[in-house]
C-alpha cells in the first residue's frame, strides 16, 4: 500500500467513525434507520436490536447477524462502507427522517 493510499484510508475511517458516533448520539431521539445498511429496519425499542460489535450503536438484526459472521471469518465491513458514513453530516439524518 502506498503512503497516500494509507493516509486516505486513515482519513476515511476517521471520518466514518465520527459519523457513526454522531449518529449514535441522536439515535435515542427517534432516528431509527440502520446506520450500517441504511434501511428502516431498526425497531422502536432500541434495546431489542443488535448492538454493533465495532461501535456503540444499534443496528438492525440482519446487520447484527452479518457482523457476527464477518467477525467469525475475519472479514469485517469497514466503517467507511456503512450507510451513515456515506450520508454524513448528522443534519442530513434529521432532515431526512422528519419528512
Q: Is residue 17 part of a domain?
A: no
pLDDT: is 85 or 4 the higher one?
A: 85
Range of the domain at 59: 39-99
3-class DSSP state of 25:
helix
Asked whether the predicted pLDDT for residue 60 surpasses 50, the reply is yes
Q: Is residue 30 part of a domain?
A: no
Q: Is residue 1 part of a domain?
A: no
Q: Is residue 31 part of a domain?
A: no
User: Cell match 497516500: residue?
Assistant: 4
Rounded Cα distance, 67 and 59, in Å: 10
Domain count, the chain: 1
Q: Is residue 2 part of a domain?
A: no
Q: Residue 99 has what pLDDT? A: 44
78-92 pLDDT, tens digit per residue, is 988 999 888 765 555
Asked whether the predicted pLDDT for residue 72 surpasses 90, the reply is yes
Whether residue 64 contacts residue 34, with contact meaning beta carbons closer than 8 Å, is answered with no
Q: Residue 54 has what pLDDT? A: 87
Amino acid at each position: 500500500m502506498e503512503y497516500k493510499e494509507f493516509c486516505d484510508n486513515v482519513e476515511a475511517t476517521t471520518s466514518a467513525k465520527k459519523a457513526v458516533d454522531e449518529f449514535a448520539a441522536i439515535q435515542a431521539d427517534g432516528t431509527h434507520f440502520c446506520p450500517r445498511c441504511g434501511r428502516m429496519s431498526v425497531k422502536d425499542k432500541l434495546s431489542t436490536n443488535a448492538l454493533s460489535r465495532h461501535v456503540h450503536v444499534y443496528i438492525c438484526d440482519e446487520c447484527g447477524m452479518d457482523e457476527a459472521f464477518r467477525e467469525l471469518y475475519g472479514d469485517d465491513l469497514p466503517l467507511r462502507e456503512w450507510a451513515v458514513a456515506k450520508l454524513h453530516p448528522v443534519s442530513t439524518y434529521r432532515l431526512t427522517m422528519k419528512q
